[in-house]
Every structure is written in structure tokens, then in C-alpha cells.
A = this chain, B = another copy of it.
Amino acid sequence: MKITGIVSEYNPFHNGHKFHIEKTRKETSSDFIIAIMSGNFVQRGEPAIFDKWTRTKCALLNGVDMVIEIPLYFATASAEFFSECAVRIMDSTGIIDTISFGSEAGKIEYIEKVADILYNEPEEFKNIIKEELSKGIVFPSARSKALEKITHIPKDILENPNNILGIEYLKSLKKIKSNIKASTIKREQAHYNSKTIESTIASATAIREYIKQNQIQKALYAVPENCKRIYSENLNLGKSPVFADDLSHFLNYKIIMSSPEYISEISDITEGLENRIYKAISENYTFSQMCDFIKSKRYTYTKIQRALLHTVLDIKKSDTEEFIDNGFSQYIRVLGFRREASILLKEMSKKSKLPIITNIKNANSILNERGLKMLEKEIQSTDIYKALSPNKNFSQLKTEYSTPMVMI
């Protein structure tokens, strides 16, 4: 039985994702595909446009057999920790043999080469970084310059977000000495950050942008037929869309009610970022205006967005570090599966290295204190997510308990 894992956000699920799944199935001859997916908040530090149950359903309808949630603490972490958490979850299932990811590079050798250097950190590599840093550039730039010099792989390949993630997956696999093999599918057509929809393959960024501008028909052009109805219904009911700026009130309140000392303990608040936040000293900023204000050469926009999201969700460095020190995710939480693939659950329950949650009502008897702490933050963040729904009838608290796994 060949089982492939895909790290995903599906924010939202679109034709490109479907294409990747189909191609993965063929190229890896997989019997089953398991998506390790972000929950209601995603890695760029914002709420997902549709909630996790909706995104799970769309994935299951289009070739994914099971969806496992990446816990909030890592779904919203930097690429490095996001990747390591996802890869560790895959490894913990005990049943995934291959990881597949899209990349512009398209060649696993490229990715392997870079991951090797980053994992082993040869002297030459460290020296070039030092040299570059002394010129006054930021660490990520120094690092990619060093990589370019050693590997001769062009910078634009090294800096492509999908390739970066791929590199991180491989690095993590090496680190945890996993037996999982890597495979990559060349991403074609739509560029990751492209903001227009030119064909039925478009970036998630473009689709979100069209939804933001209420150009729903245009947005739906790039999603599978069976998702169109789901998205439309979701939007019509006012469960979605949810955007970062919907967090503005909460962010302002949290900043007012906290001290800079407290904020400095929040995950991703580093190097005095708390001072820039308090320099923003103004309520007239939306979440994104606050990010714009704080942005500087020193901090990327997504780093700031993550820091502010963590501020709203009260995610502390000490907690994140505690989880990192204890194997990242404390459980495998199944968001949904295809009934035909129920053998996956059976196999996983035999081989998994972590407790498996299929119904959070049972969490108390399955998890230890640390696991419950991780899950409670998930439940709390879902309450926050629900509070952002355009239609306030969807904003009841503790719906995480009443929402069953998605089964199709």
C-alpha cells in the first residue's frame, strides 16, 4: 500500500491543487493521498478565506483521501517550523511513505542539493554567509547568496516560495531521520503570487483577491466544478470570506490592553518588534495598515503579519518552544476522510506514534496536559475565526465541539 503525503493550505482549493494531486497519484503510483493541511489560520499570518471544514471537503472531493490538521502553533509559524511540523506529522502517522510537493524547480535533485547544504552547513557555506552579512544585508538574503555561490542554482529558483518549502521539507526529513521519500511535481502556469486569473489554473492569491473584490464568478473559474457550489453557498450564507483586516478590532484591543513587555513574549515578536508595534500607537490602523506601518528592511511583511496574528491569538514564544522541544504536534487530528479510504484510519491507529483525534469530545481521555493545551488553543482560535464571519449567525462559541469530521 503506497501512501503519499501532501503539505497544504488549500486556501482555497483550486484546479492547480487538483492537478497536483492527480499528477502525484500517477507519478508516485499512490494508493492513497493524505493532505496535512492548515486549520483556520495560515502560514502567511492570516485567517484562511474559507474555514477548515469547507477546505477539507473540497480536498476530499478532489482526490485527497484524508485530511490531517497542522496545529495552529505551527500552521502560522515561519516556513522552517511549519515544514518541520508537517513533516513530523507525516512521519508520525507511520503509514506515509512519500512526500510530494509542487516546485518551480521541478527537479528533486536541485532541492536535495540545497537541503543538504542547509542541513549540514559546510564551512564554506557559513563563511560566505558571514561575508555577506558583513555587507549589511539581512540573513535570508545572505543565505540565498551563499547557496547560489555554492550550488550555482539561480537565485530566483532558490527564492521561490514553493522551492523554499520543498527545501525545508527535505531538511526536516533529514533532521528527524525519516524514511519518507521525496517527490516533486513541477508547478506550471500560474505563479504563486500572481494576482490575475488568466486560465483555469490560477494562484490561490489571485482567487482570494477576486473574492475580496466580490468578483466571485471570475474567482470560481479557477476551481473544480464540485467546489463551485460549495464556495458559492458558503459565501452566500456569509460564513466567508474572512480576511486579515477582519482582525483589526481585536488586534487594537489586545495592543491597548497589553504592555510592550507582554507583547515581546509573543511568538515571532523579535528584535524589538514590540516597540514598532507601540510606535504604531494608533487605533486608526487596520490589521494590514498596521503591517504596512511596521514593515521595514528588517522585517518581511509576512513575518509581521504572523507576529500580529500571534498577538491577537495570544500565542507565546514559551508555549511554541515547549511544543518544539517536545516533538511539535502533540497529536494527529483528522479533519476528514473518504469513507472508501477508511483503511487509512485503521492502519494509522496501529502504526501512529501520536494519539489520534477523530472526535475532540474524546480528547480529554486521549491527550496529556500538553496535548490538551495545544488543542485548546485550536478551539479558541476557531472561536476567533467564527467571530470574523460576515454573518454573525455563524459566530457561536465552541463550535469545534459540535462540528464532526468531514466524511464523504
Contacts and interface: CB of A to CB of B under 8 A. Distances in A.
Given A283-B392, A386-B283, A253 B256 contact: no
Interface stretch (A12-20, A38-46, A395-403): A395-403
B283 A397 contact: yes
A387 interface: yes
Looking at A249, A393, A397, which has the most chain B CB atoms within 10 Å of its CB?
Answer: A397
A395 B284 contact: yes
A366 interface: no
A281 interface: yes
Interface string A379-408: 010011011010011011110000000000
A194 interface: no
A253 B384 contact: yes
A314 interface: yes
Contact of A397 (B256, B314, B386, B397): B256
Contacts of A217: none
A388 to B, nearest CB: 9
Contacts of A387: 252-253, 256, 283
Nearest to A398: B281
Given A281-B396, A396-B281, A384 B256 contact: yes
A312 to B, nearest CB: 8
Contacts of A256: 380, 383-384, 387, 397
A128 to B, nearest CB: 44
A257 interface: yes
Contacts of A386: 283
A282 B387 CA distance: 9
A393 B254 CA distance: 19
A250 interface: yes
B384 A314 contact: no
Contact of A253 (B253, B393, B398): B253
Given A257-B314, A314-B257, A383-B256, A395 B250 contact: no
Contacts of A254: 253
A282 B396 CA distance: 4
B253 A397 contact: no
Contacts of A395: 252, 282-284
Contacts of A255: 397
A257 B382 CA distance: 11
A310 to B, nearest CB: 13
A387 B286 CA distance: 12
Contacts of A283: 383, 386-387, 389, 392, 395-397
Nearest to A389: B283
A353 B252 CA distance: 38
A387 B253 CA distance: 8
Nearest to A256: B383
A236 to B, nearest CB: 18
Contacts of A284: 392-393, 395-396
Nearest to A314: B257
A281 B397 contact: yes
Contacts of A389: 283
Interface in A208-251: 249-250
24 contacts: A249-B249, A249-B250, A249-B253, A252-B387, A253-B384, A256-B380, A256-B384, A256-B387, A256-B397, A257-B314, A257-B380, A257-B384, A278-B397, A281-B396, A281-B398, A282-B395, A283-B383, A283-B387, A283-B389, A283-B395, A283-B397, A284-B392, A284-B393, A284-B396
Given A256-B383, A257-B384, A284-B396, 18 more contacts: A249-B249, A249-B250, A249-B253, A253-B253, A253-B384, A255-B397, A256-B380, A256-B384, A256-B397, A257-B314, A282-B396, A282-B397, A283-B386, A283-B389, A283-B395, A283-B397, A284-B393, A284-B395
